[in-house]
With several copies, the nearest count.
Chain A
Protein backbone atom coordinates (compact mmCIF):
# COMPACT_ATOMS: atom_id res chain seq x y z
CA UNK A 1 0.00 0.00 0.00
CA UNK A 2 1.21 3.53 -0.74
CA UNK A 3 1.33 5.82 2.27
CA UNK A 4 1.51 9.55 1.50
CA UNK A 5 2.42 12.50 3.71
CA UNK A 6 1.68 16.18 3.08
CA UNK A 7 2.69 19.54 4.53
CA UNK A 8 4.31 19.32 8.00
CA UNK A 9 3.60 15.58 8.20
CA UNK A 10 5.75 15.16 5.09
CA UNK A 11 8.47 17.33 6.65
CA UNK A 12 8.43 15.46 9.96
CA UNK A 13 8.39 11.97 8.46
CA UNK A 14 11.04 13.13 5.99
CA UNK A 15 9.53 11.72 2.80
CA UNK A 16 6.47 12.37 0.63
CA UNK A 17 5.43 8.74 0.11
CA UNK A 18 6.49 5.17 0.73
CA UNK A 19 5.35 1.63 0.05
CA UNK A 20 4.23 -0.01 3.29
CA UNK A 21 3.55 -3.70 3.90
CA UNK A 22 0.95 -3.92 6.62
CA UNK A 23 -1.63 -6.21 8.13
CA UNK A 24 -3.36 -3.31 9.89
CA UNK A 25 -7.14 -3.38 9.51
CA UNK A 26 -7.79 0.31 10.23
CA UNK A 27 -6.11 3.67 9.83
CA UNK A 28 -5.54 3.79 13.61
CA UNK A 29 -3.72 0.46 13.55
CA UNK A 30 -1.58 1.63 10.66
CA UNK A 31 -0.66 4.76 12.61
CA UNK A 32 0.48 2.62 15.55
CA UNK A 33 2.66 0.52 13.23
CA UNK A 34 4.18 3.63 11.69
CA UNK A 35 4.90 5.24 15.09
CA UNK A 36 6.83 2.09 16.02
CA UNK A 37 9.15 2.68 13.07
CA UNK A 38 11.07 5.41 14.83
CA UNK A 39 11.34 8.89 16.24
CA UNK A 40 10.37 10.81 13.08
CA UNK A 41 7.06 8.94 12.79
CA UNK A 42 6.42 9.23 16.53
CA UNK A 43 6.82 13.01 16.30
CA UNK A 44 4.71 13.28 13.14
CA UNK A 45 1.83 11.35 14.68
CA UNK A 46 2.12 12.70 18.22
CA UNK A 47 -1.01 14.84 18.10
CA UNK A 48 -3.61 12.92 16.14
CA UNK A 49 -6.20 15.67 16.68
CA UNK A 50 -4.14 17.65 14.16
CA UNK A 51 -3.94 14.84 11.60
CA UNK A 52 -6.43 14.20 8.82
CA UNK A 53 -6.54 11.05 6.72
CA UNK A 54 -7.74 10.04 3.27
CA UNK A 55 -8.11 6.44 2.12
CA UNK A 56 -7.98 6.06 -1.64
CA UNK A 57 -8.35 9.85 -1.95
CA UNK A 58 -11.52 10.08 0.14
CA UNK A 59 -11.46 11.94 3.47
CA UNK A 60 -12.26 9.58 6.31
CA UNK A 61 -11.75 8.89 10.04
CA UNK A 62 -9.07 7.11 12.05
CA UNK A 63 -11.40 4.18 12.64
CA UNK A 64 -11.86 3.57 8.91
CA UNK A 65 -10.93 0.26 7.34
CA UNK A 66 -7.91 0.12 5.04
CA UNK A 67 -8.53 -3.42 3.81
CA UNK A 68 -7.84 -3.48 0.07
CA UNK A 69 -6.86 0.21 0.03
CA UNK A 70 -4.19 1.24 -2.48
CA UNK A 71 -3.38 4.63 -0.99
CA UNK A 72 -3.56 6.10 2.52
CA UNK A 73 -2.63 9.76 2.97
CA UNK A 74 -1.92 11.74 6.15
CA UNK A 75 -1.97 15.53 6.34
CA UNK A 76 -2.85 18.49 8.57
CA UNK A 77 -6.22 20.27 8.42
CA UNK A 78 -6.62 21.74 4.97
CA UNK A 79 -6.07 25.43 4.24
CA UNK A 80 -7.14 25.98 0.65
CA UNK A 81 -8.87 28.91 -0.98
Chain B
Protein backbone atom coordinates (compact mmCIF):
# COMPACT_ATOMS: atom_id res chain seq x y z
CA UNK B 1 0.00 0.00 0.00
CA UNK B 2 1.63 3.19 -1.14
CA UNK B 3 -1.06 5.77 -0.40
CA UNK B 4 -1.08 7.74 2.85
CA UNK B 5 -3.67 10.26 4.02
CA UNK B 6 -2.34 11.88 7.16
CA UNK B 7 -2.23 15.03 9.30
CA UNK B 8 1.53 14.71 9.88
CA UNK B 9 4.22 16.25 7.69
CA UNK B 10 6.40 14.00 5.53
CA UNK B 11 10.09 13.79 4.59
CA UNK B 12 10.58 13.78 0.82
CA UNK B 13 14.22 12.68 1.02
CA UNK B 14 13.31 9.72 3.23
CA UNK B 15 10.42 8.76 0.94
CA UNK B 16 12.68 8.78 -2.11
CA UNK B 17 15.42 6.84 -0.34
CA UNK B 18 12.90 4.23 0.87
CA UNK B 19 11.59 3.72 -2.64
CA UNK B 20 14.99 3.27 -4.30
CA UNK B 21 16.73 1.41 -1.47
CA UNK B 22 18.31 -1.92 -2.40
CA UNK B 23 17.41 -1.86 -6.08
CA UNK B 24 19.22 -0.80 -9.25
CA UNK B 25 16.55 -1.18 -11.93
CA UNK B 26 15.02 2.31 -11.62
CA UNK B 27 16.19 4.83 -14.21
CA UNK B 28 13.95 7.80 -13.48
CA UNK B 29 12.38 9.14 -10.33
CA UNK B 30 9.97 12.08 -10.53
CA UNK B 31 8.56 13.80 -7.48
CA UNK B 32 5.90 16.45 -7.12
CA UNK B 33 5.55 18.35 -3.85
CA UNK B 34 2.64 20.73 -3.41
CA UNK B 35 3.11 23.55 -0.91
CA UNK B 36 0.72 26.01 0.77
CA UNK B 37 1.27 29.43 -0.77
CA UNK B 38 0.95 32.52 1.37
CA UNK B 39 -2.59 33.88 1.21
CA UNK B 40 -4.15 37.32 1.27
CA UNK B 41 -6.42 36.60 4.23
CA UNK B 42 -4.04 35.08 6.76
CA UNK B 43 -1.42 32.40 6.58
CA UNK B 44 -3.26 29.28 7.61
CA UNK B 45 -5.70 27.08 5.79
CA UNK B 46 -7.60 23.93 6.71
CA UNK B 47 -7.92 20.91 4.46
CA UNK B 48 -11.10 18.94 5.03
CA UNK B 49 -11.39 15.46 3.58
CA UNK B 50 -13.72 12.46 3.42
CA UNK B 51 -12.08 9.68 5.45
CA UNK B 52 -12.44 6.34 3.72
CA UNK B 53 -13.33 7.72 0.31
CA UNK B 54 -10.07 9.71 0.13
CA UNK B 55 -7.90 6.61 0.43
CA UNK B 56 -10.05 4.76 -2.10
CA UNK B 57 -9.90 7.65 -4.57
CA UNK B 58 -6.11 7.94 -4.32
CA UNK B 59 -5.66 4.19 -4.67
CA UNK B 60 -7.88 4.21 -7.77
CA UNK B 61 -5.83 7.04 -9.28
CA UNK B 62 -2.61 5.16 -8.56
CA UNK B 63 -3.98 1.95 -10.07
CA UNK B 64 -5.04 3.85 -13.19
CA UNK B 65 -1.54 5.36 -13.52
CA UNK B 66 0.11 1.95 -13.11
CA UNK B 67 -2.13 0.61 -15.86
CA UNK B 68 -1.21 3.37 -18.25
CA UNK B 69 2.56 3.64 -17.69
CA UNK B 70 5.42 1.28 -16.93
CA UNK B 71 5.86 2.19 -13.28
CA UNK B 72 8.16 0.30 -10.96
CA UNK B 73 6.79 2.02 -7.90
CA UNK B 74 4.54 4.87 -6.89
CA UNK B 75 3.87 6.79 -3.68
CA UNK B 76 1.14 9.29 -2.86
CA UNK B 77 0.89 11.24 0.41
CA UNK B 78 -1.82 13.81 1.06
CA UNK B 79 -2.20 15.76 4.29
CA UNK B 80 -5.37 17.13 5.87
CA UNK B 81 -6.11 19.45 8.77
CA UNK B 82 -4.65 22.88 9.51
CA UNK B 83 -1.67 23.85 7.33
CA UNK B 84 0.43 27.00 7.42
CA UNK B 85 1.86 28.89 4.46
CA UNK B 86 4.98 27.11 3.25
CA UNK B 87 3.82 23.71 4.53
CA UNK B 88 3.86 20.61 2.36
CA UNK B 89 0.36 19.42 1.35
CA UNK B 90 0.83 16.67 -1.19
CA UNK B 91 3.60 14.42 -2.48
CA UNK B 92 3.63 12.18 -5.53
CA UNK B 93 6.60 10.01 -6.44
CA UNK B 94 6.87 7.82 -9.54
CA UNK B 95 9.66 5.43 -10.53
CA UNK B 96 10.17 4.01 -14.01
CA UNK B 97 12.94 2.75 -16.27
CA UNK B 98 12.11 5.74 -18.54
CA UNK B 99 11.88 9.41 -17.74
CA UNK B 100 8.86 10.18 -19.88
CA UNK B 101 6.74 7.53 -18.16
CA UNK B 102 7.76 8.83 -14.73
CA UNK B 103 6.96 12.44 -15.68
CA UNK B 104 3.63 11.68 -17.33
CA UNK B 105 2.41 9.40 -14.55
CA UNK B 106 3.20 12.03 -11.90
CA UNK B 107 1.38 14.72 -13.88
CA UNK B 108 -1.58 12.42 -14.44
CA UNK B 109 -1.84 11.59 -10.74
CA UNK B 110 -1.69 15.28 -9.78
CA UNK B 111 -4.27 16.27 -12.39
CA UNK B 112 -6.74 13.65 -11.17
CA UNK B 113 -6.04 14.18 -7.52
CA UNK B 114 -6.76 17.93 -7.84
CA UNK B 115 -10.34 17.41 -9.02
CA UNK B 116 -11.22 13.83 -8.09
CA UNK B 117 -9.91 13.25 -4.58
CA UNK B 118 -12.32 14.44 -1.88
CA UNK B 119 -10.42 17.35 -0.33
CA UNK B 120 -11.67 20.88 0.26
CA UNK B 121 -9.56 23.88 1.18
CA UNK B 122 -10.78 26.56 3.54
CA UNK B 123 -8.76 29.74 3.97
CA UNK B 124 -8.18 31.39 7.35
CA UNK B 125 -10.59 34.18 6.33
CA UNK B 126 -13.37 31.59 6.33
CA UNK B 127 -13.87 31.24 2.59
CA UNK B 128 -13.83 27.91 0.78
CA UNK B 129 -11.39 27.83 -2.11
CA UNK B 130 -13.26 27.54 -5.41
CA UNK B 131 -12.41 24.74 -7.81
CA UNK B 132 -10.37 26.07 -10.74
CA UNK B 133 -11.68 25.53 -14.22
CA UNK B 134 -8.07 25.03 -15.31
CA UNK B 135 -7.83 22.01 -12.99
CA UNK B 136 -10.95 20.44 -14.48
CA UNK B 137 -9.69 21.22 -17.98
CA UNK B 138 -6.34 19.58 -17.20
CA UNK B 139 -8.10 16.20 -17.00
CA UNK B 140 -9.09 16.48 -20.64
CA UNK B 141 -5.72 15.59 -22.02
CA UNK B 142 -5.73 12.15 -20.37
CA UNK B 143 -9.12 11.05 -21.69
Interface residues of A (CB under 8 A from B): 4, 6-8, 54, 57-59, 73, 75-81
**Interface: B85 (CB within 8 A):** no
Q: How many A-B residue pairs have CB under 8 A?
A: 73
Q: Contacts A77-B115, A77-B131, A81-B114 given; indicate if A7 touches B120 (C-beta within 8 A).
A: yes
Pick the contact of A78 from B34, B90, B120, B122 — CB < 8 Å?
B120
Count residues of B near A (Cβ-Cβ below 8 Å).
Answer: 31
Additional A-B contact list (12), CB under 8 Å, known A73-B50, A80-B47, A80-B119 = A6-B48, A6-B118, A8-B128, A54-B53, A54-B118, A77-B130, A77-B131, A78-B115, A78-B120, A79-B131, A80-B113, A81-B119
A72 to B133 CA separation, bound complex (whole angstroms): 25
11 of the cross-chain contacts (CB-CB < 8 Å) are: A7-B48, A7-B122, A7-B128, A57-B52, A57-B53, A73-B53, A78-B115, A79-B129, A79-B132, A80-B113, A80-B115
How close is B115's CB to chain A, nearest CB, in angstroms? 6
How close is B16's CB to chain A, nearest CB, in angstroms? 18
User: By DSSP majority rule, is chain B's interface helix, strand, loop, or mixed?
Assistant: mixed
Interface centre among B50, B110, B132, B136, by most chain A C-beta atoms within 10 angstroms, is: B50
How close is A6's CB to chain B, nearest CB, in angstroms? 6
Determine whether the beta carbon of B122 is less than 8 Å from that of A80: no
**Interface: B66 (CB within 8 A):** no
Complex contacts, A73 vs chain B, CB 8 Å? 50, 53, 118
How close is B2's CB to chain A, nearest CB, in angstroms? 17
A57 to B114 CA separation, bound complex (whole angstroms): 17
Determine whether the beta carbon of B90 is less than 8 Å from that of A75: no
Q: Contacts A6-B50, A7-B122, A73-B50 given; indicate if A81 touches B116 (C-beta within 8 A).
A: no
